[in-house]
Amino acid sequence: MTDSPQGPYDRGRPPGHPTPYGGQQPGYGAVPPPGYGMPHAQPPTNVLAIVSLLASALFFWLCGLGSLVGIVCGHLGIREIDRSGGTQAGRGMALAGLILGYLGLLLMLGLVALFVFGAINYSDSGDGY
């Protein structure tokens, strides 16, 4: 058996005996293993970011109004998140709401243009209906 140096917490233990659980005894200066301790609290998600994403996702059920609400709430939400100094989360959610809102707005404008183009061509066709 080889003699190992004894630490301040190994005083009553014969030389060569390992500490319980294979590690350093807890005491002053002992570092807890990773993963222990109080979990870090997540900052709350900005409400406007949530509204932006939901309104933009519900584009078809809100007849295009969801895109406009999503765009406005997305811009306001991103501004609030940036000004909060890290106390609010949800920037990605607000950005996704903005992107979906602008895509829904483009789709709505495309459908209106298609409707107007079809109405003009239908009236010029001379079918007489």
Residue 17 confidence (pLDDT) = 57
Q: What percent of the chain has pLDDT over 70?
A: 65
What is the DSSP-derived secondary structure letter of residue 125? S
Predicted confidence pLDDT, tens digits, the chain (129 residues): 455 555 555 556 566 655 555 555 555 555 556 666 667 788 999 999 999 999 999 876 777 889 999 999 999 999 999 999 989 999 999 999 999 999 999 999 999 999 999 888 887 655 555
For residue 42, which amino acid is it? Q
Helices and strands (H, E) in the chain, number of each type: 3, 0
Residue 100 confidence (pLDDT) = 94
Residue 31 confidence (pLDDT) = 59
Residue 32 confidence (pLDDT) = 57
pTM summary value: 0.62
CA distance 98 to 6: 63
CA distance 114 to 22: 74
Residue 115 confidence (pLDDT) = 92
Residue 16 confidence (pLDDT) = 60
